[in-house]
Amino acid sequence: MAGPTTARRGEKKSARSGPPSSGKAGKAGKVGKAGSSGGGGAKKPGQQGGSSGSPDGRPGPRVRFRVPSRRTLIIALAGAVLLAGFGTWSLYGSTWLRTEAVKVSGTGVLTVDEVVRAAAVPMDTPLASVDKKAVADRLRAKLPRIKSVAVRRSWPHTVSLKVTERQPELVIQTGGKFVEVDAEGTRFATVAAAPKGVPLLKMAVRDSPGLRRFGADRLRRAAGTVVTALPKALHQDVRTVEVRSFDAITLKLTDGRTVVWGSDERSTAKAKVLAAALKAARDARHFDVSVPTAPAVSGS
């Protein structure tokens, strides 16, 4: 009886050992198959991978934004109101940002003290309340020599004024003094002596129809256009600019030479023609460039 019993036990043992080995092989086969498909297993539908959607082309899960609660909105609004109120108080109510100084730059003839007095910037007031336009208007009204001025707030305590002065291009003699005139024909200052190198402007237009038609300001501006069109070397030779009407402007140069200019139209072209004519006819006394395409030279 020992033999059959032993046989049955062996059969049971072999029967038990067989299936596990085949199960392991099956699992190994599955692992190998999965490894060969992509080295990490196939992704489930809907699973995100990188920046693209799912492998089957379907879009990934939507990102949902959470709407802030009413309490959060109220707290944020209250914080914004408090911050705005603090900023307004800092600008206008506190002593931190008050006007304490005025800085001036760009002056030539004018002094810093003159500009500061004319600007009349209110001190110990909120810097933010300084009216920049009003300051600029006061300066131009009180100091006609100022052509333009840039008014700027320099935080925390300074108002900066950058001045551009008018430059005299002509002078008009009145009695024993001289009135300076800029390139725009603006009379802006009276001085005791004529600036060096600035031509004398003679307005011989008392009974001229051009005076009634164009006005003295327009005729002075025409004279300014003429002199500013001249090259520097030629400008130094001009002694007098005489205006009899809008289209009758004459220059008197050193050594008594005269130039009939005509109107201020095409002044740049006329200046080039005159410079060439002065070099070509050094002994000539009279030049006419009123028609720059047909200049005339006479006298020797």
pLDDT digits (tens, 9 = 90+) for 242-271: 999 889 999 999 889 999 999 999 999 999
User: Distance between CA 148 and CA 160 in Å, rounded?
Assistant: 14
pLDDT digits (tens, 9 = 90+) for 130-140: 999 999 999 99
pLDDT digits (tens, 9 = 90+) for 79-119: 787 777 766 665 565 676 899 999 999 999 999 999 999 99
pLDDT for position 8: 42
Q: What is the pTM of this model?
A: 0.67
For the chain, which residues score pLDDT lower than 70? 1-61, 63, 86-94, 96, 206-213, 300
The closest alpha carbon to 207, from 245, 151, 234, 181, belongs to: 245
Give the other-Cβ count within 10 Å of 111's Cβ: 11
